[in-house]
Structure 1
Amino acid sequence: MSPRTRPVTALAAGLALLTVAGCAAGASGAEPVDPPEITLTFAGDVHFEDRVAELLDDPATTFGPVAAELADGDLTMVNLETPISTRGRAEDKRYLFRAPDAAVPALTEAGIDVVSLANNHSMDYGREALFDTVQKAEAGGLGTVGVGQDADEAFTPLHRTVQGVDVAILAFSQVDDLAEEWAATPDQAGMAMAFDTERAYAAVREARATSDLVVVLPHWGAENDACPTGRQQEFARGLVEAGADVIVGAHAHVLQAEGYLDGAYVAYGLGNFLWYSSGLHEPYSARAGVLRLTVRDREVTRSEFVPTVTGDTGRPLPLTGWQADLARHNLDGLRACTDLTEAP
């Protein structure tokens, strides 16, 4: 795993030039330049088990029609709930996932730019398979976040520049299973664990100071529970206080609420996206969607949710008409068990 750098932001350089130009043009009454508007796109849990594995026969079509929704934005992120490797030894746990090399082009062909690996499956086959996953993803042009060759790297944000805006992306896992065994340490590879809250908050504060926009991708919550836990809500508030602008979570296998928290935007969970099973509580765990956020100057000015339902192949199929309207109405209703608001 190669260290990630924190480049000087193009936006900062641009603003410096604009300041100089503004001084020269001030006498002529030149209008100030508005901050750029960018679009961030998110979806939930992705893996390639069982019936979904067959979709990898043609990586260009793995995600099907929903790929158009994923690609409609400047930067697209999902939670990759699997290692991509044939190596490693199975961990002592009930559910074990892994994917072949074709998973990488399947993700990139769908327009996905970044995957979070801070979850309870990316190390199902140990550190050897984790190394393979990061290497193969990066070789294929897919960014990874939330893991590293040591704790410093795991808690270091991935930077992507979008229309001159430096976006810093962090990911943390709050799932307790194997948390101590999988945690990145000063001398051991692993993932950024949310139980080290002070380090997580410090990472967000540093990202806030060195970038234009801070996005956090937590893996958290109780499975099959549409209401966020107290731990989720407490961690979300701490992340916002530390400087997070956008928080989009995963893990619960069902949709959870989205809205605003002290000016920041929080989506607690986007459900199962490309998934082998519709889950224990059909039809709720078959419901997911694509979240598209319009952001200007750290503020989410517009959110758009494209509801999906898991099809027979495991593909998420976009809903339309009254079904889409009902799905959005139901998502709005989930806000009742949170401290989120509909508007900033």
Structure 2
Amino acid sequence: MIEGPRSRRAERHARAQRRRRNTAVGGCALLLAVAGSVYVAYGRGGGSGATAADRLPGGGPATTAQDDAKAGGKQPGKPSPGVKKAARPPEPAGTLTLAFAGDVHFTDRTAPRLGVDPALGPMSAALSAADFSMVNLETAITSRGVAQPKKYHFRTTPAALGALQRSGIDAVTMANNHAVDYGAQGLTDSLAAKHSSPIPVVGIGADESEAYRPFTTTVNGVRLAVVAASQVIDITNQNWRATATHPGIASALDRPKLLKAVRDAKAHADVVVVYLHWGTEGQNCPGPEQKSIAADLSAAGATAVVGTHAHVMLGSGMMGRTYVAYGFGNFLWYGHSPYPNSDETGVTSLTVTHGKVTKAAFTPAVVDGNGVPEPQSGAAATRITDRYAQLRQCTGLADPPRG
């Protein structure tokens, strides 16, 4: 498994406790005040856990750049992190908060976002507020390779992974239909970027063992495992599916293999998240293949099954004890999709207590003319939230808990 450190918020809390204990022993009120100020000043990335190289397959020894990224969310030559968290009381033991958003890439109108912190704009606050947040990185990470015989091609540089980290993202999936847009050479570069990434990358690997391997971490005493795969039937799933001897993406079309990965993850984790690339473009009701695999994943022990691909939002709710979100829609997006309401998006936040989803919340946004998700308020927020809730009607899912 890909082994992660404790949650960054937990590490900050632990450091704050040590500072308060030491200053109390010293009896110095001034130092206590300074320690509190330092605690508030720390950003999302603070911590002294393992670097990306320590926890990702193929990673080498920790570098100064990786240590800097872990300690302060920044890289050489980059500004300070774009997202900072104020101190807040820790959640009860056994409670974990998760945040998810949809498709992200840095192409065309969103390419300049690599030079902006936070790259995901003001919606970064909703993502950073959770213990663990995740998006789908819908792109190859390469400047080389041969464009594959398909209509759309997306690529970016390894800087995208640092930009997402500074936007409050804790992990990304690359199990999607654009991860290998530039063939074997592009895939080689993407895997190299994964192995030196400041955040975990799941759903892609040098072989099937790596591609299906979960990212695992412990947050607030809760063991979390995240698995990713693509159910989209396309050239990527046909030609670039990871096997025992070939690199590629994790495929949900090999259902037994995905279900085994989830059952294995559940054997050692309290909470299992499955992030899928699934659905039909432009269709905001799930198809039978989505409903079928969601049911199988729920039976295998998934706490949450979420995903993207359709370029529009789909409904969400409860399938027994499993939270299912059939489609988050576009998030940081290069252009306009030719589907109604394709610019509506948002961040879905879950609270999981002792392995059970106890609260689901939605923060609405609209993708603006620069491809950036902008938070909504007032009547606009109500309109998007109400329409999103209505999408549940064709899913067969029950209303999620509101906390």
Query: Shorter-chain TM-score category?
Result: 0.7 to 0.9
Paired with 1:265 and 1:325, the residues of 2 have a C-alpha distance of 22
Report if aligned partners of 2:144, 2:182 keep a CA contact under 8 Å in 1: yes
1:250 corresponds to 2:313? no
TM-score, normalised to structure 2, is 0.75
- The residue that corresponds to 2:196 in the other structure is 139
Q: Match for 2:215: what amino acid? A: L
Q: Does residue 155 in structure 1 map to residue 207 in structure 2? A: no
Q: 1:43 aligns with which of 98, 101, 109?
A: 101
1:222 aligns to what?
A: 280
Deviations 1:55-96 (A, max 9, x none): 2233x2322211111111111100000012112221111100
Q: Which moved more, 1:74-83 or 1:321-330?
A: 321-330
1:288 paired to 2:342? no
Percent identical pairs in the alignment equals 42
Partner deviation per Cα, 1:14-50 (whole Å, 9 max, x = no partner): xxxxxxxxxxxxxxxxxxxx74211101000001111
Distance 1:48 1:5 in 2: 26
1:120 aligned partner: 177
Counterpart CA distance in 2 for 1:336 and 1:287 is: 18
Quick one: distance in 2 between partners of 1:127 and 1:246? 32
Using the size of structure 1 for normalisation, the TM-score is 0.88
Select the residue among 236, 250, 255 that pairs with 2:294: 236
1:268 maps to what in 2?
326
Q: Matches of residues 294-313 of structure 1 in structure 2 within 5 Å?
A: 294-313=351-370
1:81 aligns with 2:138: yes
Deviation at 1:199, TM superposition (A): 1.0
In the alignment, the residues of structure 2 paired with residue 8 and residue 286 of structure 1 have an alpha-carbon distance, to the nearest angstrom, of 35
CA RMSD of the aligned region, Å? 1.9
- Specify every segment of 5 or more residues in structure 1 that has no aligned partner in the other structure, as ranges: 11-33
Tell me the number of residue pairs that the alignment of Structure 1 and Structure 2 aligns. Answer: 316
Residue segments in structure 2 that go unaligned for 5+ positions in a row: 8-91
User: What's 1:337 paired with?
Assistant: 394
CA distance in 2, matches of 1:279, 1:9: 38
Query: Which letter does structure 1 place at the counterpart of 2:233?
Result: D
SS in 1 for 2:282: coil
Deviations 1:285-320 (CA, angstroms, capped at 9, x unpaired): 101101111111111111110111011111000111
Q: Deviations over 1:222-261 (max 9, x none)?
A: 0011000110000100100111011111101000011000
Residue in 2 that maps onto 1:72: 129
Does 1:186 pair with 2:254?
no
Please give the secondary structure, in 2, of the residue aligned with 1:44: strand
The question of whether the paired residues in 2 share the 8 Å contact of 1:287 and 1:307 is answered with yes
Aligned structure 1 segments of 4 or more residues deviating by more than 3 angstroms: 4-10
